[in-house]
């Protein structure tokens, strides 16, 4: 598999690069990112053959079809990290909630969020490539709450890598914050910033393309990469669980191989939706992908109108904070795949400079062939958590947004929907406890204990242990000081 640049080539970089090159240096010409030059394809016979395959077997087959330039032994070792999940034989359980709504639970890994699905294997792969090349890397991560813990978990104590992770102070749950600030490995640095996720992500992209910052790192023989989903090393692992979830529906008898389904995905940075889009292009029978947002509904307006407008927008803090994002990076890969590099460059540079762009009518029609979207208010999310619990399903507020899109986006009510649960209830316990009891709780620990009793569930040990760990990462700084803070860490 070769990778090319979403905004075209500047004449200074190669026309195409390999997978290993793309994960080590994820930013490309004109501030763009890398996308696959072509995707492999599969047919219904392939799906029938893999209906009973394990997750690891399916993943290895799909990675083999992508022909990534990673040693087979490294891929095997990376996929074996799924053994750390709750059930190694089924790391992604798919649970029936209603007759036509099934939830793919992506959060059964070590940090209880879907980012583990990609970051667990990705961390080992990147570290192995760096060691094979005898190079050292600084991995940057910007997080709205879940990427950070998962990146820190996968890279801690790995050779040839250091990690600097930025999160918005006050913009995560207590559990998410504790998962980051209690990390004590010497190769990890956690930085709280005064600002929101978009500030953290903008800082990450600026540093990735900063000549002066890169020169400072080179003085220490360190190169720069990223753990956010601008890195295709994340995306390639996110394609797999969409295909696996479809096969689980077939295995359960809910569909026949070949039946189309709706994929229903929380918006976020659009990496999850992009994985579904690539799975659809490869051959997965998907009728449409539904994007669920919260009150930060920039993507809802974009998909419904073709207008991406953040000129007067401010991030709104919601009960689903991992989606409190205005500028979703992976939309760029959709634009590139649909409209080509020149048009993508034009649109993305306009967004960078004017905070606005608009698709043509024909482009919007093409986008809407694949995507539909709606957003869910905090109040609606609480009601969806309550109604799901009434039928025996416990979910987080991000998953609840999918239930709104399930209600409003389906044109063919005879098709099944796969909604993606991106975090366990433990990550957002104050919201879930309020939904279940109509009582507000001040701390995550109190709320967790209430849910355990109310829902008769067990709190995972890795969550319970957080509240007794010492705080080791104490930096909270202005965004203007991020570069100096990181340089101080590597020195």
Torsion region of 253: left, alpha or beta (phi above 0 gives left; psi -120 to 50 gives alpha): left
Residue 409: CATH number of its domain:
3.40.50.1100
Summary count for the chain: helices (H), strands (E):
21, 16
Q: Does 444 score more than 90 pLDDT?
A: yes
C-alpha distances (whole Å) from 35 to each of 57, 366, 438 are: 25, 19, 46
Q: Does 198 score more than 90 pLDDT?
A: no
Is-contact 196 324, C-beta < 8 A? yes
The model carries a pTM of 0.95
Residue 47 lies in a domain: no
Which DSSP state fits 471? P
pLDDT number for residue 123:
94
Average pLDDT, whole number, for the chain?
A: 96
Residue 67 lies in a domain: no
The first and second tokens of residue 309, run together, are: 């407008």
The first and second tokens of residue 13, run together, are: 């970089």
How much is the average pLDDT of 183-208?
A: 92
Residue 379 lies in a domain: yes
Residue 389 lies in a domain: yes
- Max distance between CA atoms of the chain, in angstroms, equals 62
The first and second tokens of residue 319, run together, are: 């009960």
The first and second tokens of residue 334, run together, are: 């959709």
H or E, element range at 457 = none
Residue 391 lies in a domain: yes
Report the range of poorest mean pLDDT among 316-330, 347-361, 410-424.
316-330
Backbone angles phi, psi at 127, to 5 degrees: -60, -40
Q: Does 392 score more than 90 pLDDT?
A: yes
Distance between CA atoms of residues 232 and 6, nearest Å: 12
Number of domains making up the chain: 1
Backbone angles phi, psi at 336, to 5 degrees: -60, -45
Distance between CA atoms of residues 20 and 325, nearest Å: 29
The first and second tokens of residue 9, run together, are: 């080539």
- pLDDT over 90 for what percent of the chain? 92
Tens-place pLDDT, residues 22-44? 999 999 999 999 999 999 999 99
pLDDT number for residue 107:
97
Tens-place pLDDT, residues 212-260? 999 999 999 999 998 888 899 999 999 999 999 999 999 999 999 999 9
Residue 368 lies in a domain: yes
Residue 418 lies in a domain: yes
How much is the average pLDDT of 407-412?
A: 98
Residue 167 lies in a domain: no
pLDDT number for residue 491:
81
Tens-place pLDDT, residues 336-390? 999 999 999 999 999 999 999 999 999 999 999 999 999 999 999 999 999 999 9
What is the per-residue DSSP string for 189-250? EEEEEES-HHHHHHHHHHHHT-HHHHHHHHTTTEEEEE-STTSHHHHHHHHHHHHHHHHHHH
Q: Which domain holds residue 106?
A: 75-113+233-467
Q: Does 201 score more than 90 pLDDT?
A: no
């Amino acid at each position: 598999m070769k990778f090319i640049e979403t905004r075209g080539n500047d004449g200074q970089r190669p026309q195409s690069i390999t997978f290993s090159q793309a994960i080590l240096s994820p930013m490309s010409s004109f501030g763009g990112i890398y996308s696959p030059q072509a995707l492999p394809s599969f047919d219904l016979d392939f799906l029938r053959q893999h209906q009973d395959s394990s997750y690891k077997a399916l993943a290895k087959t799909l990675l083999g079809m992508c022909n990534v330039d990673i040693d087979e032994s490294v891929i095997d070792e990376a996929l074996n990290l799924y053994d750390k999940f709750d059930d190694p034989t089924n790391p992604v359980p798919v649970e029936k909630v209603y007759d036509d709504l099934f939830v793919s639970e992506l959060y059964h890994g070590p940090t209880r969020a879907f980012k583990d699905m990609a970051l667990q294997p990705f961390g080992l792969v990147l570290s192995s490539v760096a060691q094979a090349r005898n190079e050292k890397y600084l991995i940057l991560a910007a997080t709205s709450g879940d990427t950070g813990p998962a990146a820190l978990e996968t890279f801690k104590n790995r050779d040839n890598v250091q990690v600097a992770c930025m999160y918005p102070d006050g913009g995560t749950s207590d559990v998410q914050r504790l998962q980051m600030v209690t990390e004590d490995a010497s190769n990890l640095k956690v930085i709280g910033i005064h600002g929101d996720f978009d500030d953290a992500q903008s800082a990450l992209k600026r540093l990735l393309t900063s000549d002066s910052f890169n020169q400072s790192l080179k003085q220490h023989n360190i190169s720069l990469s990223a753990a956010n989903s601008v890195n295709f090393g994340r995306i390639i692992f996110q394609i797999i669980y969409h295909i696996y979830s479809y096969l689980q529906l077939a295995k359960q008898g809910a569909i026949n191989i070949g039946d189309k389904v709706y994929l229903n995905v929380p918006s976020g940075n659009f990496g999850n939706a992009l994985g579904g889009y690539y799975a659809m292009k490869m051959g997965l029978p998907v009728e449409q992908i539904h994007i669920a947002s919260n009150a930060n509904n920039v993507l809802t307006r974009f998909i419904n109108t073709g207008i991406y407008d953040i000129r007067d927008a401010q991030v709104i803090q919601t009960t689903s904070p991992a989606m409190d994002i205005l500028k979703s990076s992976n939309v760029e890969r959709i634009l590139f795949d649909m409209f080509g590099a020149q048009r993508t460059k034009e649109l993305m540079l306009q967004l960078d400079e004017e905070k606005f762009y608009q698709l043509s009518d024909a482009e919007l029609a093409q986008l809407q062939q694949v995507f539909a979207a709606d957003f869910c208010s905090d109040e609606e999310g609480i009601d969806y958590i309550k109604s799901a619990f009434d039928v025996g399903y416990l979910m987080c507020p991000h998953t609840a947004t999918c239930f709104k899109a399930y209600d409003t986006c389906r044109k063919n009510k005879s098709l099944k929907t796969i909604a993606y649960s991106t975090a366990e209830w433990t990550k957002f316990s104050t919201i879930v406890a309020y939904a279940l009891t109509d009582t507000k709780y001040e701390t995550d620990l109190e709320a967790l204990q209430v849910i355990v009793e109310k829902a008769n569930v067990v709190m995972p040990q890795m969550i319970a242990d957080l509240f007794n760990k010492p705080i080791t990462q104490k930096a909270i700084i202005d965004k203007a000081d991020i570069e100096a803070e990181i340089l101080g860490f590597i020195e």
